[in-house]
Amino acid sequence: MAHVQLTPDELIQEFQSFDDWNDRFQYLIELGDQLEPFPEEERRDENLVQGCQSNVWLVARVVDSDPPRMELLADSDSQLVRGLIAILMILLSGKTPQEVLQTDVESVFRQLELQRHLSRSRSNGFHSMVRRIRQLAEQYLQ
């Protein structure tokens, strides 16, 4: 989980406080810089997210709490993608698998107006990360 402790609403407010894309882009980079370090032993092919232009490693663990919650860890070799990962951490890490499946990530993505500024391949990669996280949540529910 990112060291940044923002709620989804706070994240949206932060993005909306910037007037231009350059400021939003810089904020994305700063969010990515605050990701927790990714364990080197998890940088394996099976943890790579398929469909991303950049390398993205993603793992999920269920924390034994009541109810059990998913803890997500991810990293990328792209600064911009690290920022997108941070957004996903804010939205999904620490939630139950059921809450992960019910979270409308795409709605937040639209509210942040990211689709207007990301290339098609970056947008596709973002959605690939969301799909992977949802697959992991579904596996935990089975």
Active site residues per annotation:
52
Query: Would you say 46 and 68 are in contact if contact means Cβ atoms under 8 Å apart?
Result: no
The b-or-e profile of 74-93 (16+ CB within 10 A means b, else e) is bbbebebbbbbbbbbbbbbb
Give one word for 51, left, alpha or beta, with left for phi > 0 and alpha for psi -120 to 50: left
The packing angle between helices 8-16 and 21-33, to 10°, is 140
Cα angle, residue 123 at apex, residues 91 and 74 outer, rounded to 5°: 45
